[in-house]
Structure 1
Amino acid sequence: MRLKKSIMLSTILLSTCISTQAQAAWYDNVWDWLEDNVAAPVVDASQVTLSWLDSHVIAPIEGLATDVDGYVSILEATMSDHGYLSTYGQAYIPATQDAGPNGTLNIITFNIKGFPEALNGISDNEAQELSQFIENWQADIIGLQENWVRTDAITSQLSLDNYPYRTQYWAGTPTTFGDGLLTLSRYSLDQDKVQYHEWNKCNGTLLEYLTGAVSSPDCATEKGFTISEIEIAKDFIIHFYNLHGNTGHNRANNQSDLNQVSEMIQAYSAGFPVIIVGDFNIYFEQNSDRAHQYQLMLDFKAQTGMTFTCEEEPVNGVIEGCDRIDYIGYRNNPKFEFSHTPLVDNRLDHNNISDHAPRIGQLHWVNTYAYKTPIEYPPVDLAISLKASSGKYFTAEGNGGSTVNANRDDQGSWESFNLRLEQARYFTGCIQSGDLVSIRTQDGYYFSAQTDGSLDADRTQLGNWETFSLINHDDNSGCLENNDRISFRSHHGQFIVGESDGDAHADRTDIGAWEIITINM
């Protein structure tokens, strides 16, 4: 039995050297075959000896545990849970009240060191103690990182009174640890709209980490960031980013991480207020040993308009106060403006259980529209056409009553639509980024996004599936203008795309080149 377990363990360990993108498929296709055709026959025929496995597989990582069972415990921790796990929050209830004139938000970011104990992570008992700390803090929004294998324990002491809304946890594949990210909120959060993004780059497999070749097994995880749309009020929706950056101070990885987040903030979150928290694994201080990291953070601020709560008044043009890697940042939008309370020390007590101190930021927001006199504007209904990235026009086949394509060279009646403002986020006098709109054909049929991602123009009544959030990539606060580049997000959280083959769908989870549409008025 020990020989068989060693063979299977060797197979698992070898699988951890494979990129995370390939691991899931590799595991599913090979595991059963190995059990029947490799492990069992080898044991029976004695073709491989335990001493060979000990010297070639076990010995290189000796010292982490005393025997094979110790190594197996590491893999069992990640194999036991995979896919999306419940975090025991309540079902989504949308906000119903408009925002008042001002308010305060207490935001926390906390890396809990939640690896398996064999990898020097915290125990279930320690995670339960942290859970009680978090419950007692009664923050408004918390972003947790490194919740690798402690989901049940870390949520065990949390009440629905303090943290009713919680993102599901992505626990990864059977041979990876997941993303480790968990967002807790006092305010409404729709799990169906939560986005999970893995980093494009990573460094270090589990086997490399166990043998001391790297400082962290990033490639054995799906590190990245999540985006939650948190409804402080009906008209006050924050895009909340929770991230965990790559370790090892690899410049290419650091740059890639920040570029990914910056692109999403500029495109997906255009027009929305943004809060970002997490373990960036980048030092935002001017230090000769880490000069490139300071510059990367400066560039990130310039690209996104972000302000970090750790920032102090610049001295000789140099930002000081952020000599850490755990940050809380924010960005305003035209309606809601943030500021923060400077704190001498924003660390929270957590009994020194994690190697990262939890950080708290107190944000104050002001509704700049609160005291403006309401003006009754006439309905906004624009005559438009839509051009895909391929250069082809979107068309409603039959002038409505059928499907939508993106394959016409010229604009005719089937390619002419009415874009109507259905629900303004801030201002009813024109269409702005973040507004809810409908698209109607000349014969009175509405564009409709289906749950399977298809896009039709066959509805005569306006409902949720016939409305879209408009994102303006050229102007996130002004009025929609001719030739602006825009995207449409459906009620199901998917984006409209004009495919290169002329098809049109509403099935994309991210905004790329093919999800950007040019509007002609």
Structure 2
Amino acid sequence: MEVVLQRKVNNRRMNVIFVLLILTIICVWYFQTCRVPIEVTGFAGFSRVITDELPVSTEGTFSVITYNVAGLPQLICSAVTERTTSITEIGRRLNSYDIVHVQEDFNYNSFLYKSNEHPYKTKTKGKVPFGDGLNTLSKFPIITLHRVPWKNCSGADCLTPKGFTYSRIEVAKNIYIDFYNVHANSADDPGAAAARRKNIKQLSYYIKQHSEGNAVIVMGDLNAHFCYEHDNIRDLLADNDLQDAWVELKSNNNLPVFRAFAKENILELNDDCESIDKILYRSNLQLKLTPSNYRYEYGTFNNEQGFPLSDHCPVSLVFNWKLIPQH
């Protein structure tokens, strides 16, 4: 009897070891395949046939919006509305904007895209835990796309390969702007803030390496505040000659002062409040970008019952661009 019991114990131990080995292999595979930078060569199918060439122009206007769409699986999503219908409606309402960055576009990308009419869309990287949740929808050609995962993360943020994307968009014939779609590490405890600071440093280094001398627009859920002393968003601006559209248009070019930080309900903010969803930009020697019409889209993306379609409010802006005469 003792021999039989000992064999059962040994078998259980072997089963546990086997399961742990399989889990280890899966984890190694995940971090080697999903959390590495990739250059994307395929895009989602166009919603209409595109035959017209972009016009030759020396100036123009386009609207942008950044939106965390809360596309985590329904059971773990913090948004209060049902996800499939909400994200379908989000996709429809985004048609009003020329260039769109979305974050947390994980499990419901097909619903986001089926009601959306943007002719250029990035192909989703996948659902949780394989996707980064970052996609771009544009009325202008997306020339290239790179997906770059963070090297540092904390807590639940490590369960998906969050990071940023780098794309180049042609807004007129031979007029290109570098776009960055960002979703930084969330939460404000010391460990999370430390990971987010490293995220921002990684993004800053990438911009320096890949967008030197180019006009740049950075949009996304940066999860960072100018007023929080443990965030380094100020360094991102200073090191890359970037301007924050909200600071320029709504804060009289004054950065918020450091203060005792208290987490705010991001669904109850307005245009006068700093949001973690930000739009940053810079011009270059050939192209002047001028922002206007900054809007914290409170209420614009609510359902018929008045509930927000996501757990964020999007931020929108209009850019006027103009070629600078070269002498």
Q: TM-score range by the shorter chain?
A: 0.7 to 0.9
Q: Over the residues paired in the alignment, what is the CA RMSD in angstroms?
A: 3.4
1:167 correspondence with 2:125? no
CA deviations on 1:437-471 (whole Å, 9 max, x unpaired) are xxxxxxxxxxxxxxxxxxxxxxxxxxxxxxxxxxx
**Distance in 2, Cα, partners of 1:282 & 1:19:** 35
Runs of 5+ in structure 2 lacking a partner? Answer: 1-14, 34-39, 259-270, 303-307
Give how far 1:157 is off.
0.4
1:69-468 alignment runs, 5 A limit = 87-89=44-46, 99-120=56-77, 122-135=82-95, 137=96, 139-159=97-117, 163-171=118-126, 176-190=129-143, 193-204=144-155, 217-249=156-188, 250-284=192-226, 286=227, 290-293=228-231, 296-311=232-247, 312-315=251-254, 318=257, 323-343=274-294, 345-347=296-298, 349-351=300-302, 352-369=308-325
CA deviations on 1:406-450 (whole Å, 9 max, x unpaired) are xxxxxxxxxxxxxxxxxxxxxxxxxxxxxxxxxxxxxxxxxxxxx
User: Which structure has more RCO (C-alpha within 8 Å, separation ≥ 6)?
Assistant: 2
Give how far 1:345 is off.
4.3
**Distance in 2, Cα, partners of 1:26 & 1:97:** 40
Aligned length: 278
Q: Decide whether the 8 Å contact of 1:87 with 1:152 is kept in 2.
A: no
Residues 1:101 and 1:282: Cα distance change in structure 2 (over 3 Å): same
**Distance in 1, Cα, partners of 2:52 & 2:104:** 30
Residues 1:94 and 1:132: Cα distance change in structure 2 (over 3 Å): closer
Q: Which amino acid aligns with 1:274?
A: V
Q: Decide whether the 8 Å contact of 1:239 with 1:272 is kept in 2.
A: yes
Q: Which has the larger radius of gyration?
A: 1
Give how far 1:337 is off.
0.8
Q: Secondary structure of 1:283's match?
A: coil
Residues 1:124 and 1:99: Cα distance change in structure 2 (over 3 Å): same
Give how far 1:123 is off.
2.1
Q: Secondary structure of 1:106's match?
A: strand
Give how far 1:270 is off.
1.0
Q: Secondary structure of 2:64's match?
A: strand
**Distance in 1, Cα, partners of 2:177 & 2:112:** 25
- State the match for 2:30 in structure 1: 24
Q: Which amino acid aligns with 2:237?
A: K
Residues 1:344 and 1:166: Cα distance change in structure 2 (over 3 Å): closer
**Distance in 1, Cα, partners of 2:157 & 2:25:** 10
TM-score normalized with structure 1 length: 0.48
- State the match for 2:267 in structure 1: none
Give how far 1:233 is off.
2.0
Q: Secondary structure of 2:301's match?
A: coil
Q: Decide whether the 8 Å contact of 2:245 with 2:291 is kept in 1.
A: yes
Runs of 5+ in structure 1 lacking a partner? Answer: 1-6, 28-82, 205-216, 374-521
Give how far 1:99 is off.
4.7
Residues 1:235 and 1:218: Cα distance change in structure 2 (over 3 Å): same
**Distance in 1, Cα, partners of 2:257 & 2:51:** 43
**Distance in 2, Cα, partners of 1:90 & 1:313:** 41
**Distance in 2, Cα, partners of 1:98 & 1:126:** 36
Give how far 1:98 is off.
6.4
Q: Decide whether the 8 Å contact of 1:275 with 1:328 is kept in 2.
A: yes
CA deviations on 1:359-381 (whole Å, 9 max, x unpaired) are 10111112112xx57xxxxxxxx
